[in-house]
């Protein structure tokens, strides 16, 4: 590891020297590198806007991207960004102080989207959908202003799996967060380099490094979320059958359209039998009623 040299990035100062932590760090770096390469995220000389919420996932994302850059495996410019959305009791000084100390180039943006969400969302409903859209719009704007080609998010394997089941249970579709997409305007990539990394590994890493974690429940609207319910289901399956999450995640990388039911993905009507003599029939096939 780079810690064996005299020069390491400040993000890794004080890293535990235990074998367990070294294995954890190596695993996260390997999985992140695999995702970046597998989904074609690297544009040499590009600039990435790395989005930080102050949670365990975004700290892990920032650290692993800097590790890859430090090793010469990520030839892109990184700009960290935190969007302060005006939630009550948000510790506005934590991330700026941390990023200054870690010598990480950054931009802190204040936009009071919380007041907008409070005004627009009916009482008793969760804020997340509208809050997320407003946050994404501001991040796209910042990326354009900073000359970035990609917005980089800290969603991990469990986020992707939970979103799949939320769409399955509540949305009536087979879909999830892709590791790479182009925004609707077509001018920015959205990357999720932690797509293969487990949430538990992010938590162990960030806490082992003593990063100043900001809780994600500041808006007070987290009770009863569909995502929490799905997470509890997955936790139960994992407890009964350890490794179940990883097996289910692998299935998202092994789709077989011919064994699903979407005629837009597979031409069922055009299927033919081979080595069977066909009888020419000029009469029109009657339509079923």
Cite the annotated binding site for [4Fe-4S] cluster by residue number.
128, 131, 219
CB atoms near residue 77 (< 10 Å): 15
Q: Distance between CA atoms of 250 and 224, rounded to whole angstroms?
A: 28
HEC secondary structure over 100-152: HHCCCCEEEEECCHHHHHHHHCCCCCCCHHHHHHHHHHHHHHHHHHCCCCEEE
How many CB atoms within 10 Å of residue 163?
17
Nearest to 99 by CA among 83, 82, 75, 84: 82
Binding residues: 128, 131, 219
């Amino acid at each position: 590891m780079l810690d064996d040299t005299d020069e390491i990035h400040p993000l890794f100062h004080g890293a535990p020297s235990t074998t367990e932590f070294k294995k954890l760090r190596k695993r996260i770096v390997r999985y992140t590198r695999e995702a970046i390469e597998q989904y074609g995220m690297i544009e040499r000389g590009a600039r990435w806007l790395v989005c930080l919420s102050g949670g365990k996932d975004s700290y892990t994302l920032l650290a692993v991207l800097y590790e890859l850059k430090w090793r010469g495996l990520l030839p892109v410019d990184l700009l960290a960004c935190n969007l302060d959305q005006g939630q009550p009791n948000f510790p506005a000084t934590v991330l700026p102080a941390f990023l200054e100390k870690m010598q990480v180039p950054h931009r802190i943006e204040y936009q009071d989207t919380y007041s907008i969400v409070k005004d627009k969302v009916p009482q008793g409903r969760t804020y997340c959908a509208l809050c997320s859209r407003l946050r994404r719009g501001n991040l796209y704007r910042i990326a354009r202003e900073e000359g970035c080609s990609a917005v980089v998010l800290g969603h991990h394997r469990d986020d992707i799996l939970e979103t799949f089941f939320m769409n399955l249970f509540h949305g009536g579709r087979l879909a999830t967060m892709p590791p790479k997409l182009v925004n609707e305007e077509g001018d920015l990539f959205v990357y999720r380099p932690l797509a293969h990394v487990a949430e538990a590994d992010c938590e162990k890493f960030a806490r082992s490094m003593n990063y100043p974690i900001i809780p994600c429940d500041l808006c007070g609207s987290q009770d009863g979320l569909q995502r929490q319910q799905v997470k509890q289901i997955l936790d139960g399956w994992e407890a009964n059958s350890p490794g179940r999450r990883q097996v289910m995640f692998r299935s998202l990388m092994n789709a077989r359209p011919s064994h699903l039911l979407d005629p837009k993905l597979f031409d069922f009507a055009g299927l033919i039998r081979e080595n069977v003599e066909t009888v020419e029939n000029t009469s029109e096939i009657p339509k079923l009623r």
